[in-house]
Structure 1
Amino acid sequence: MSIASPFSLSVVAITILALLGMPIGLSMIAGSALYLFLVGADMGIVAEQFLNGMYSNYVILAVPLFILAAEFMNVGSMTERLLDFCNVLVGRFRGGLAQINIVQSIIFAGMSGSAIADAAGSGRMMQKMMTRDGRYTPSYAAALTAVTSVVGPIIPPSIPMILYALMSDASIGYLFIAGTVPGLLMSALQMLQVAIDARRGNFPVEDPVPMREIPRITIRAFPALMMPVVLLGCIYTGITTPTEAAAIAAAYALVISVVIYRSISVKDFYASLYTSAKSSASIGMLIAGALVFNYVVTIENIPDAIRVLLTDMELTPTGFLILVNVILLLLGCVLEGTAILLIIVPVFIPTAQALGIDLVHFGVVVVVNIMLGLVTPPYGLLLFIMTNIAGCPVRDIIRDALPFIVWMVICLIIITFVPETVLWLPRLFGYQG
């Protein structure tokens, strides 16, 4: 491919605009428009086809609805009540508050589908609780919150899995089920590391919850605890599609917060809508840019060219998965995860299919890789979010996060080379892949 070819110039334009600070979604749209102009494509037809594809894609609607559900949870008292319940479960152990951080991430994973929502919502509260009276250092609390938030999009529901399904036509329902075991495995390994740190660092033991208080705390948290049950029950029983379930999740979070907990004011309601709209617009622009650029990539037959190249390398399915893991882990250090998912991953999907790799298994491997990118330096987005929340240097957070990152990589290796850890549960629900 010539360095002066339309596609090369398009890629250069996208790169330069992104480096100059333009949002990656707008950069992709501008670079793709340059390509279409240079090849003499009819811009009107391209725009019409693109918009029709966006507005007729029912799956995309689930993204803003899950974001809205997470916002209703954060502005209400659902977070506080769930943290009290987590304290009942693991608070009495040494390092119990750190273990609570992990358990609350597992519970919130069944509600929001977004790592950033978990870190910015319940993670902010956990940071305050862990650093109160000097129980834990700010950097350790921030590192733990960052790595536990990663579990959110692995355990269902999951916004990244919705986007992967958009790119691959894999079943969203089976993708959601497939993420359960890997997410719980990752959380178990995190809890093991906390137990090791607690013994080494003599972490504090929280005051045990009196037995007489446990029923009251459980009852207070019960409506919030039922949210994942309602959400996932609607999906897996076939009552609703994942998109409809996302709408139910948002409505459920609002009703519980307003009617039962009475913790959302009109001002809070407006703030939730405003914040959700901004986040949804940002993701929507990124999806739009990715779809336009993927159209360009398709015209250039890039996926077929890469498939032929990898076929010529005579890679086995295992070799291909190793190569994809290495590429995605390296890209995760420097690129935003959604951009990788929408731009890079579609190029690998035809090769994965040609090698007979199950697309549900491949999707979970991809999502775990991308979640790892949120906590790997130098770009890890969650690291910077927690730096702002904790007010400590990012290098200290990275230092404390490294042992957890090692366990997460071990989890990635397990699910890559032992597909049954991913596919066992979906097959119990009737998956034939």
Structure 2
Amino acid sequence: MSVIILFSLFLMLLLVGMPIAFSLGIASLSYVLLEGISLTIIPQRMFAGIDSFVLLCIPGFVLAGNLMNVGNITEYIVRFSNALLGHIRGGLGLANVGGSMIFGGISGTAVADSASIGSVMIPGMARSGYDKPFAAAVTAASSTVGPIIPPSVPMIIAGSLSGISVGRMFLAGALPGLLMGGAMMATVYILAVRRGYPKEQRVPLRQLLSEARTAFWALLMTAIILYGIIGGFFTPTEASIVACLYALVVGMFVYKGLTIRKLPGILSDTVLTSSALLLMVGLANLFGWILTSEQIPQMIASTILSISENPLIVLLILNAILLFVGAFMETIAALIILFPALVGVATGVGVDPVHFAVIAVLNLMIGLTTPPVGVCLFVVSGIGKLPMLTVARAIMPFIFCNLTVLLLVTFIPALSLWLPNLLMGD
């Protein structure tokens, strides 16, 4: 009975618009009170959930993303992408996707990507003759590439929950992320040709090289992060601190958009964002502990395996579950609650845990662009001053192309496993 009340209260709070962290906390508190469990279990489980060295990556990469935004690094990434791709039909849309692939590969978060890239590209594309819903849809869809291309905050969470190597997961996301970006570029181009969207003049080679030199310092950050982790020079947590120092130096002394006066505001934003994420991690860990104590994960596993033990069928069922949950629940909370149970089901039928981690993150990223709780949809709707349903309709071709990539990644394990096996061994 307590479990029924737990889920009913949680879903009801979500439906009335309660933030996900408070929904988790209030529902968990109701269960603890009904079962007569000591209230000391709440801080114990919350602290156990965030007491992880790996989770220190989160404030590090959030701070690096904020330093990039204020230091004008995002602007130079967009300018380089536009110079490279703007002369193609729908070039600004292609530049939007390209910019998201580069920026997301540094910040590791989709929401930061959609907010920073969107504030530049949505008004710019509208002024250049693109439909504003299309501009918003491209921005929201392409922002989901960020947490696939390393570094990735959701993959850090998955690694901390399961003990899977974060470095291997970072490498496993590289090819699927590039494939996802390429598929969205193809979708942008097809829609641009059909709708007659404009293209820019081809920039002279000298200007292209100039933009490349300017963006070089921004592009180098991703290489430093990946090479440092793969080469064993630093852990993912240390990589996040290196990224912060690098963004600080480049923003202040190379691009000169960052000043000492702006640092308190940047640090304040970072603390607010990081504390909200870590609060959610702590409360979701409490919620997950309740599910484990009630043997809900075992029930899920036995139910799925009773349907089929064929790995392909099991993966299709897991995809359906994750897509459904991703449409209603925030990514981090969904990972903490579901990933430990589902990865056990996947590995039980012979699926590599790194491969499944990429599948899980990809599913939940697609959920960020699907109603009713698509966070990226809300962000771009606010920037473009558009109704969310208008953007939701415009984003459907991109969701279709991302689902196609998801199926390819699901059924071709080499897309995820080839690179980590090559660079880090089987």
Q: Which residue, 223, 245, 254 being the options, matches 1:251?
A: 245
Q: When the two structures are superposed, what TM-score results if normalisation uses the length of structure 2?
A: 0.95
SS in 2 for 1:148: helix
Give the match for residue 14 of structure 2: 18
Question: Which of 82, 90, 93 is residue 85 of structure 2 equivalent to?
Answer: 90
Structure 1 stretches lacking a partner, 5+ long: none
Instruction: For 1:339 and 1:354, locate their aligned partners in 2 and report how far apart those are by CA, in whole Å.
Output: 23
User: In 2, distance between residues paired with 1:197 and 1:19?
Assistant: 35
Alignment size in residue pairs: 426
- State whether structure 2 residue 152 is matched by structure 1 residue 158: yes
Q: 2: CA distance between counterparts of 1:55 and 1:374?
A: 23
Letter in 1 for 2:236: P
Q: Report the equivalent of 2:64.
A: 69
Deviations 1:138-176 (A, max 9, x none): 111111111111101011010111111122221111111
- Give, as a single letter, the amino acid of the residue that structure 2 aligns with 1:86: S
Structure 1 counterpart of 2:257, from 259, 263, 268: 263
Q: Choose from 186, 191, 203 the match for 2:197.
A: 203
* Alignment CA distance shift 1:200-1:309 (3 Å): closer
1:281 has 2:289 as partner: no
Report the CA distance between 1:52 and its aligned residue: 5.0
**Preserved CA contact (<8 Å) 1:101 1:145:** yes
Match of 1:305 among 286, 299, 303: 299
> Are the aligned partners of 1:106 and 1:155 in contact in 2 as well (CA < 8 Å)?
yes
2:333 counterpart letter in structure 1: A
Q: 1:20 offset after TM fit, Å?
A: 4.1
Distance 1:267 1:19, change over 3 A: farther
Deviations 1:297-326 (A, max 9, x none): 121122222223333333311111101111
Separation in 2, partners of 1:116, 1:40: 39
1:86-143 per-residue CA deviation (whole Å, 9 max, x = no partner) reads 12321222221111111111111220000100111122111122112x4211111111
**In the alignment, is the contact (CA less than 8 A) between 1:66 and 1:246 conserved in 2?**
yes
Residue 87 to residue 36, structure 1, CA distance change in 2 (3 Å): same
Which aligned pairs between 1:28-427 and structure 2 lie closer than 5 A?
A: 28-44=24-40, 46-47=41-42, 49-50=44-45, 53-54=48-49, 56-132=51-127, 134-427=128-421
Query: 2:394 corresponds to which letter in structure 1?
Result: D
The answer to whether the 8 Å contact 1:154/1:179 transfers is yes
> Matched residue of 2:93: which SS?
helix
Question: Does the 8 A contact of 1:74 with 1:122 survive in 2?
Answer: no
Decide whether the 8 Å contact of 2:46 with 2:285 is kept in 1: no
Q: Following the alignment from structure 1 to structure 2, what is the Cα–Cα distance between the partners of residues 221 and 73? A: 12
Distance in 2 (CA, whole Å) between partners of 1:51 and 1:43 is: 12
Change (3 A) 1:379 1:43: closer
Aligned 8 A contact 2:2 2:34 in 1: yes
Q: Percent identity?
A: 37
Answer whether contact 1:27 1:289 (CA < 8 A) is retained: no
Quote the offset at 1:73 in angstroms.
Answer: 0.6
TM-score by length of structure 1 reads 0.93
Tell me the distance in 2 between the aligned counterparts of 1:13 and 1:404: 34
Give the CA deviation at 1:192: 1.0
Name the Cα RMSD after superposition: 1.8
Deviations 1:354-396 (A, max 9, x none): 2221111111111110011111123221111111101122233
Unaligned ranges ≥5, structure 2: none
> Using a 3 Å threshold, how does the CA distance of structure 1 residues 37 and 266 change in structure 2: closer, same or farther?
same
Q: Summarize deviations over 1:312-351 as a string: whole Å, max 9, x none.
A: 3333111111011112212222322222222223321221
**Using the alignment, how far apart are the partners of 2:313 and 2:233 within structure 1?**
40
Paired with 1:313 and 1:402, the residues of 2 have a C-alpha distance of 31
